[in-house]
Amino acid sequence: MRKKSRLVAAVLLLLGLHAAILLAGFVAPSDPAALNRDLPFVPPTRIHFVDSRGHLHLVPFIYQWKARPDSFNEYDEAHDKSYPVRFFIQGPEYRLAGVLRSHVHLFGADAPAQIFLAGTDAYGRDQFSRILYGGQISLAAGLLATGISLFLGLVVGCVSGFYGGWIDESAMRLVELFLVLPWLYFLLAVRSFLPLHISPAQTFFLLVTVIGTIGWARPARLVRGIVLSARSRKYVLASRGFGASDWYILRRHVLPHTYGILFTQAALLVPQYVVAEVTLSFLGLGLSEPAPSWGNLLANLQQYNVLVSYWWMFAPALALVIVSLGYLQMANTVHELQSGST
């Protein structure tokens, strides 16, 4: 039962995270591209329940950050005015999931105060909002690339496992080649062949394609194994005896066995591909400014002074860790449950 509850916990965590990211426009209090030129590298806004006079408030509130005069990027809270945290507040316009227009945000504060849950970057942009919007890119890239990999792996695995012979031999040699490739360098090499200034949308689809076509090898091998064992089962032979076509046998008898493997592979590949996209963007080869992605948010840390002085810039790494943990926990538990039950 503990396994089940761990699975439920992982799934709920992931669902929550994905929902927040999908509804980034609603959950994020600010526009990710809005510069606050007077507030570069502001630390995360502190949420208070007790004010400076010691009174307890039921509704949390915040103070504005004021720059310390004659210093660089150092701030103090301005205790002169407190701003209560409001929920379902009107804010900058956004498109929910790219479709619905809306002004309503989950939380925020009255102007001119802003809530920076994860501080701001060099241009004063709200990091929390950027992490959510960036998550859309990074997660979508991971999920789509996983889809591509699994689809390719499934097709190749099925065909080579089912038909055997020279098809199988050549497919498996190809699989070995792809398994051996150092994926990072391959990614860099492919990326360098692509045109340099392409639109963010094009970059995104190219990224997804490139990442997806690298990792199909392992799922292909695993699927092939399943298909090999499945096709020699008695009921498959019986089916053939009754005149079933290859396609029918594949669809009806073989494929269902692969679902378990495909699911665990998916759960393993998604975080791997998210990290691949993050790596490319971190190195400046993925999505470029001003579109946020966890990779180019983390790229700020390549500067020594940012790494050392502004700890909140690590926040996208935390998001990455949560995603990876969630998926891996899910994959682990499902695998254990499956092998337990088989």
Partner 1 sequence: MHRWSSVTTLVLACGYICFAASSPQSLQRGEDVQTTDNQIGHYGGTLIVAQRSEPKTLNPVTAADAPSREVIGRLTADLIHINRASQQTEPALARSWSISQDGKVFIVKLRHGLRFSDGQPFDADDVVFSFQVYLDEKVHSSQRDLLVVGGRPIEVQKIDQYTVRFTLAQPYAAAERIFDSLAMMPRHLLEKPYGQGRFSQVWTLTTPPSEMAGMGPFRVKEYVAGQKIVLERNPYYWKTDQHKNRLPYLDELAFLFVGNEDAQVIRFQAGETDIISRLGAENYALLSKDAASRGTQFFDLGPSLEYDFLVFNLNDLKKDTDNIAAKQAWFQDVKFRQAVSSAIDRDSIVRLVYAGHGAALWGNVSPSNKLWVDQTLPHPPRSLDRARELLKSEGFSWHADGALFDRQGKAVEFSIITSTSNAQRTKMATLVQDDLSKLGMNVHVVPLEFRAVLDRVFQTYDYEASIMALGGGDADPNPEMNVWLSSGGTHLWHLGEPKPATDWEAQIDQSMGKQMVQLKYKERKRLYDQVQETVAANVPFVFLATPNVLVGAKKTVGNFRPAVLDPNTLWNVEQLYFLPGNGTPAGGKP
Q: Which residues bind partner 1 (CB under 8 A)?
A: 33, 35, 37, 40, 72-73, 122-123, 196-197, 284, 288-290, 302-306, 308-309
The residue among 305 and 341 lying less far from partner 1, judged by its C-beta, is: 305
The residue among 52 and 202 lying less far from partner 1, judged by its C-beta, is: 202
Q: Strand pairing partners for 65?
A: 77
Looking at this protein, which amino acid is placed at residue 50? V
The residue among 283 and 325 lying less far from partner 1, judged by its C-beta, is: 283
The residue among 120 and 149 lying less far from partner 1, judged by its C-beta, is: 120
Burial zone of 186 (CB within 10 Å; 0-12 exposed, 13-18 middle, 19+ buried): middle
The residue among 246 and 289 lying less far from partner 1, judged by its C-beta, is: 289
DSSP letter at 110 equals -
The distance of closest approach from Cβ of residue 295 to partner 1 in the complex, given in angstroms and rounded to an integer, is: 14
The distance of closest approach from Cβ of residue 141 to partner 1 in the complex, given in angstroms and rounded to an integer, is: 20
- Report how far residue 90's alpha carbon sits from residue 178's, in angstroms, rounded to the nearest whole number: 51
DSSP letter at 252 equals I
DSSP for 159-221? HHHHH-HHHHHHHHHHHHHHHHS-HHHHHHHHHHHS-SS--HHHHHHHHHHHHHTTTTHHHHH
Cβ-based neighbour number of residue 319 at 10 Å: 22
- Report how far residue 223's alpha carbon sits from residue 261's, in angstroms, rounded to the nearest whole number: 7
The distance of closest approach from Cβ of residue 144 to partner 1 in the complex, given in angstroms and rounded to an integer, is: 23
- Report how far residue 101's alpha carbon sits from residue 104's, in angstroms, rounded to the nearest whole number: 9
The residue among 305 and 342 lying less far from partner 1, judged by its C-beta, is: 305
The residue among 107 and 123 lying less far from partner 1, judged by its C-beta, is: 123
Chain centroid to Cα 269, Å, comes to: 11
The distance of closest approach from Cβ of residue 290 to partner 1 in the complex, given in angstroms and rounded to an integer, is: 7
The distance of closest approach from Cβ of residue 207 to partner 1 in the complex, given in angstroms and rounded to an integer, is: 16
- Report how far residue 92's alpha carbon sits from residue 31's, in angstroms, rounded to the nearest whole number: 6
The distance of closest approach from Cβ of residue 99 to partner 1 in the complex, given in angstroms and rounded to an integer, is: 17
* Pairing between β-strand 100-108 and β-strand 86-96 as defined by DSSP bridges: antiparallel
Structure token digits, residue 184: 């990072």
The distance of closest approach from Cβ of residue 37 to partner 1 in the complex, given in angstroms and rounded to an integer, is: 5
The residue among 73 and 209 lying less far from partner 1, judged by its C-beta, is: 73
Looking at this protein, which amino acid is placed at residue 122? A
The distance of closest approach from Cβ of residue 89 to partner 1 in the complex, given in angstroms and rounded to an integer, is: 25
- Report how far residue 164's alpha carbon sits from residue 183's, in angstroms, rounded to the nearest whole number: 28
